[in-house]
Amino acid sequence: MHSPNYFIIKPYNGVRYDNIKKFGDVDFVISSSVEDHTVTNRFAVVQSTPSWYEGPIIPGDVVVVHHNTFRLYYDMDGREASSWTFYKDDIYLVDIDQMYLYRRDEGPWKAIAPYAFVKPQKNENDSAVLTHYVEKSTFGNIVYLPEGEKELEVGMEVSFKPGSEYEFKIDGEKLYRMRTRNICLTT
């Protein structure tokens, strides 16, 4: 199967939701709501690339996708429906702008332009007793950058526009995805 315009993907591990966590020997369902975007599966395996695409992603690569890619929802009549990316069975069609990271054969993650991933900085405020914020607002360190980025470097401390970040869990670590143009200060 091949698409002239879209990447054909399947959910990683064959599941739409990543809502089961293991505690000891027991599996716990942490959310049973299909509307809960925080537990949608955000990892997919590329089955084929579009005809126009000449980039580094190839079939078999694992990609990080938009949180609504595999999501179920209820339509206006209360019927369960799949997201617009659903084709059939466990096959989905996505645009390049709905993919943010990729990796091959358990190798390192690589960012897809124009997105970067930033690890939020811990709030080391001396008066932490008076605040409930665990992280500094709009500050972090770059973890993943797209190739060819000239002004920014991995590890660099940055500040970003409020509201430009979106939370992802990558290899068990909380990271914010944002467009590189939303990184507004470096130190």
pLDDT, one tens digit per residue, over 33-66 is 766 666 677 899 999 999 999 999 999 999 999 9
Q: Residue 137 domain-assigned?
A: yes
Determine the pLDDT at residue 70: 85
DSSP tag of 40 = B
Q: Residue 1 domain-assigned?
A: no
Asked if the model's pLDDT at residue 146 lies above 90, the reply is: yes
Question: What is the amino acid identity at position 115?
Answer: Y
Same domain assignment for residues 127 and 145: yes
Distance CA 65, CA 35 (A): 17
Give the phi and the psi of residue 85 in degrees, each rounded to 5: -80, -15
Structural domain boundaries enclosing 102: 7-111
Domain termination site, one of 90, 111, 132:
111
Asked if the model's pLDDT at residue 72 lies above 90, the reply is: no
Determine the pLDDT at residue 127: 57
**125-139 pLDDT tens trace:** 655 555 566 778 899
Same domain assignment for residues 107 and 138: no
Distance CA 65, CA 93 (A): 11
Other CB atoms within a 10 A radius of the CB of residue 94 amount to 22
